[in-house]
Structure formats: C-alpha cells, structure tokens
C-alpha cells in the first residue's frame, strides 16, 4: 500500500508542472464585418477586409468593443495587426484595455511600403503586429483603438485587423493535488484498517 501511494504521489508530482490554460475570447478578421464595435466601418487593404482604413479612420476616430470574461482568469492576451496609412507625421496609435493605455507608438509617412490609400511618393503603409498582456480578474474587457491623428482620413489614417484575445487561467497547483491525494489515501487507509 505504501509503495503504491508513493508511486502515485511521484506520478502526481511529475504531472505537477504549473500550467496556464488559455481560452479563446474572440478572433476577428472582419471578413464578415465588425459586429459590436463602436465604429464598425470596414474597408479592403490588398483584398483583406479590415476595421477602418483609408477615408474612414483619421483625426478623432476610435473603435472599441467590450468582451465578457469568466473572471477566473489572471490575465488576458490582446493581439492585433495595426496598419499605419499615408501621411503620418509623428502622431501615435493607442491601444487601451479597460481604460489603461497599453500601447503607444508614433509613426511617420515614409515607414513601410506603398500598399493602399494615397499613391503619393513615400505616403506608405506599415503593418505592425501588436501583442499585449494585461493582468486582470475582471468579468469584462473593453478594448479601444485610437490615435492622435489631426488630419482627414484621406491624408492620414489607420486600420486594425486580426484581433485575437484569449484569457489565461491558472490550473490548480500540482503540489496541492499531491497533498490532497495523500490526504485521501490516508483516509482510505484508515477506513480500510477499521473494517
């Protein structure tokens, strides 16, 4: 009995690598539109539908959406592809999560290559993959995109694509499982001896 218990504990300890399970909250490529976003205007960049874009998201534009979380998570990952379009001159793109500024980066017109919008020389487009981690036990998550652009969306604009959000839930610690198992086996052993 003791030997079997010891083996079981050893197995549990071996399995007890602390792990985090990730659950997908949303994955949006905007192919079928932008349901639930405060501004759901979409356009095409190279045939790929995006949220916002040329002649849509310039000075003052923002888009936000609120997602439901279980509240069991310890953190969330927010991933997106950001497009900088045309004549940016040092303005910044912002990503807020639950009111907290998690991403702020400035860009200029010549970054990237000629992909969309205006075709003037060096009015380029830049694709920037953004990956953010945010610690929260809240039951909702509001993601907000905005910029400090100060001109019309025919001069300077932005777009977002491939918004993928997952939450991270810590699984019970393996040592706790092993101790719990040991306790159960102890009880079982005592009951067995009584009979």
Question: Which residues form the interface with Ca ion (CB under 5 A)?
Answer: 29-30, 48-49, 86, 89, 117-118, 123, 150-151, 161
| C-beta of 48 vs 144, nearer to Ca ion | 48
Neighbours of 18 (CB within 10 A): 10
Label residue 33 left, alpha or beta by phi (over 0 means left) and psi (-120 to 50 means alpha).
left
- DSSP annotation of 142 reads E
125, containing H or E segment: strand 125-135
- In the complex, minimum distance from the CB of residue 30 to Ca ion, in angstroms, rounded to a whole number: 5
Task: For Ca ion, give the closer residue by CB, 89 or 173.
Answer: 89
Tell me how far, at minimum, the Cβ of 109 lies from Ca ion, in Å: 9
- CA–CA distance, 118 with 130 (Å, rounded to integer): 24
CB nearer to Ca ion: pick between 149 and 178: 149
Q: Between 7 and 150, name the residue whose CB sits nearer to Ca ion.
A: 150
| CA of residue 124 relative to chain centroid, distance | 27
Total Cβ atoms within 10 A of residue 178: 19
Q: Distance between CA atoms of 142 and 169, rounded to whole angstroms?
A: 19
Q: Residue 179 Cβ, how far from Ca ion at the closest point, in Å?
A: 49
* Closest distance to Ca ion from the beta carbon of 74 (Å): 30
């Amino acid at each position: 009995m003791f030997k079997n218990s010891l083996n079981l504990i050893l197995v549990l300890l071996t399995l007890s690598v602390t792990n985090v399970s990730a659950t997908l909250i949303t994955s949006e490529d905007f192919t079928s539109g932008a349901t639930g976003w405060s501004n759901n205007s979409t356009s095409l960049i190279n045939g790929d539908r995006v949220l916002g874009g040329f002649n849509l998201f310039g000075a003052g534009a923002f888009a936000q959406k609120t997602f439901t979380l279980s509240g069991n998570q310890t953190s969330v990952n927010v991933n997106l592809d950001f497009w900088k379009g045309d004549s940016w001159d040092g303005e910044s793109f912002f990503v807020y999560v639950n009111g907290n500024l998690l991403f702020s980066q400035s860009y200029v017109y010549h970054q990237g290559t000629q992909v969309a919008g205006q075709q003037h020389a060096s009015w380029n487009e830049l694709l920037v993959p953004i990956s953010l981690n945010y610690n929260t036990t809240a039951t909702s998550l509001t993601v907000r995109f905005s910029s400090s652009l100060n001109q019309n969306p025919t001069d300077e604009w932005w777009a977002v694509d491939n918004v993928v959000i997952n939450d991270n839930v810590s699984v019970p610690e393996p040592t706790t499982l092993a101790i719990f198992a040991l306790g159960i086996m102890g009880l079982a052993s005592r009951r067995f001896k009584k009979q």
